[in-house]
Amino acid sequence: MSEASVVVALERALRLSQQLAQLADAGDAVAAVALDAERRLLLRAARTATGSPAAAERALLAQIAALNDCALGRLEHRLRIKARELDIAKTGRLAVAAYAATG
């Protein structure tokens, strides 16, 4: 893979990272995982194509990493919200069961 094609692959991976961040914000983890698999193939191909990345490639990789961190943070936040909602529902079920037992 030439340096130009590495840049093209990284630019495509950057676009996928932007889409992935949007999906993470919307809470669509299934679609995000599918995009991540496609992005991972591009990144793996770019990594094996050249030795040390040029400045342009490093800049693209930095943007991809920042978007990845953002997407992971959004998904983790949604996971914590869901866990809290499950805890609240469990507490409610226990309260109903306790109330029903006293009736």
| pLDDT the model gives residue 1 | 67
| pLDDT the model gives residue 49 | 73
Q: Is the predicted pLDDT of residue 48 greater than 90, yes or no?
A: no
Average the pLDDT over 60-74 and give the result.
Answer: 95
pLDDT tens, position by position, 6-47: 899 999 999 999 999 999 999 898 999 999 999 999 999 888
Question: For the chain, how far is it from start to end, CA to CA, in angstroms?
Answer: 74
Domain ranges of the chain: 3-74
